[in-house]
């Protein structure tokens, strides 16, 4: 007759079950994929329209965009400011490190232009020279 030992029942599993970990990773991935586009939106602006002009090719890493709302709010890097002083100080420091920085200003077409000119004045006083006023292309009638 064979005796059963208690040793066999004390053997522990050395494998880790990673299925719950993978489930969590996929859920987090889905959450980030859905929420990232929502975080990167600018202000809801209607840009003035202009005719299509040939644009100079720029490195997207060198473009800094500032949105100017009709109420006089300035949005830079997903932060809304009441006045442009902090934005201008950051841009001045960045332009000292990288002279290729271009400041793209997006102002609402129906908003008072004084908010855009205030920003332009502050940028000029700080010595920020590469400035672009953004517009949307005009809708052209189809050619016959």
Which pLDDT tens digit goes with each residue over 35-66? Answer: 877 666 666 767 666 666 556 677 788 889 99
* pTM of the complete model: 0.60
Mean pLDDT of the chain: 80
List, for residues 96-133, the tens digit of each pLDDT value: 998 888 999 988 888 888 898 899 999 999 888 888 88
Cβ atoms within 10 Å, residue 125: 10
Pairing of strands 74-76, 79-81: antiparallel
Burial of 43 (0-12, 13-18, 19+ CB in 10 A): middle
Given pLDDT bands bounded at 50, 70 and 90, which one contains residue 144? very low
Question: Can you tell me whether residue 132 is helix, strand or coil?
Answer: strand
């Amino acid at each position: 007759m064979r005796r059963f030992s208690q040793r066999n029942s004390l053997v522990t599993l050395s494998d880790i079950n990673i299925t719950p970990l993978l489930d969590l990773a996929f859920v987090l991935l889905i959450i980030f994929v859905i929420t990232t586009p929502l975080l990167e939106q600018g202000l809801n602006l209607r840009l003035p329209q202009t005719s299509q002009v040939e644009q100079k090719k720029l490195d997207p890493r060198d473009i800094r965009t500032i949105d100017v709302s009709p109420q006089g709010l300035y949005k830079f890097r997903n932060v809304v400011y009441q006045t442009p002083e902090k934005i201008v100080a950051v841009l001045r420091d960045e332009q000292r490190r990288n002279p290729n920085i271009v400041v793209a200003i997006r102002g609402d077409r129906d908003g008072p232009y004084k908010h855009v000119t205030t920003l332009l004045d502050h940028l000029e006083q700080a010595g920020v020279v590469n400035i672009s006023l953004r517009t949307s292309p005009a809708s052209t009638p189809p050619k016959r």
